[in-house]
Amino acid sequence: MANEQIPSLESHLHSIIPDGTLPLLRQDVLPKLLHSITDVAKVLRNEATVSQVGTANAFGDDQLNVDVLTEKAIRSAIAQCPSIVTASSEEDPVERSTSPSGSAPPSGNDEVYSLAFDPLDGSSIIAPNWTVGTIIGVWNAPSAVKQHPSKQVAAILGVLGPRTTAVVALRIPGCQPTCFEVAYGSQGDLQVVRPSIRLGDAPFKTRYFAPANLRTAAENPKYMSLINHFIQEAYTLRYAGGLVPDIIHILVKGHGVYVSPVTEKSKAKLRRLYELLPIALIVECAGGLAVEPESGNTILDREVQDTDERGGLICGTKEEVELAVKTLLG
């Protein structure tokens, strides 16, 4: 595709969000949040080392210097968006007003947003300089907690690797759900390099699997059976150990399944508000499925009651997800 044919973010958002429909999301919130991904990338490029800072977040997780700095980068973007009235993150999981005065959201305005985000997903693999990411969920409500997941109208996966890119999903009432990819030009401009991301249909030339929490197979015969199926059927293993790059690989290749099961010994680790719900929105908008391995129910079926709710995840190509659920749940 020639450069002159690549649409700008502004023109693409105008084409998919009609005039009069959530104008602040289109004109202000999404552009500023997407620009913040480049700020996160700069933070990582400018930090010579990755080290613990001697503090822990509210969940008890030890914080790295890059966790703290990337949190600040996202918070700076939030401060520039008056319509984002509350926010919480995996580093600061208390939903608070973003107004400097702590004032309540303006009444009578239905275009107010709450942000739930993980500023740096992949802390366990950043020291060896692997691809990591930022996960953001945008809720068209003054709070993201105890809201039906239909209130999550947008999600962003920022990819922080050799290139900085972002995948955006929009599911706005009255509009067609959509998923697209943004890249960052040399001048910091945002270009929509893939206006539509869709998982492919069978038959598949290559089939991919990403088996998270693989050691669980030693205690779970059903998971071992699923892994053996992937191997015997000559699936290609693509697993980076980071949630964002593993999901992005599925979206880029147009096929794949990510499986992170939960067992009695291996408890759920992925936080529903900051990881599972945004990932589920993106996968579903791309034509896939995202379900809970414990029940087989769709991730987006139920609201979050508490910011520390956790779960497992099976997501990706519909047929592969259904096979995984059938194998794990019988």
Are residue 22 and residue 135 in the same domain, yes or no?
Answer: yes
Structure confidence at residue 83 (pLDDT): 96
**DSSP element (H, E) containing 123:** helix 123-126
Can you give the pLDDT at residue 325? Answer: 98
Same domain, 119 and 214: no
236 and 115 assigned to the same domain: no
Are 215 and 189 in a shared domain? no
Q: What are phi and psi of 169, to 5 degrees?
A: -120, 140
Whole-number pLDDT of residue 192: 96
The answer to whether residue 81 is domain-embedded is yes
Q: With contact defined as beta carbons under 8 Å apart, do 151 and 158 qualify?
A: no
Report pLDDT for 6: 83
Q: What is the pTM of this model?
A: 0.93
Expressed as residue numbers, the domain containing 64 is: 3-194
Is residue 90 a part of any domain in this protein? yes
149: CATH: 3.30.540.10
Q: Both 179 and 231 in a single domain?
A: no
Mean pLDDT, each 10-residue run in order, the chain (330 residues): 71 94 96 96 86 68 84 96 96 90 53 96 91 97 97 98 96 96 86 96 95 93 97 97 97 98 88 98 98 96 96 98 96
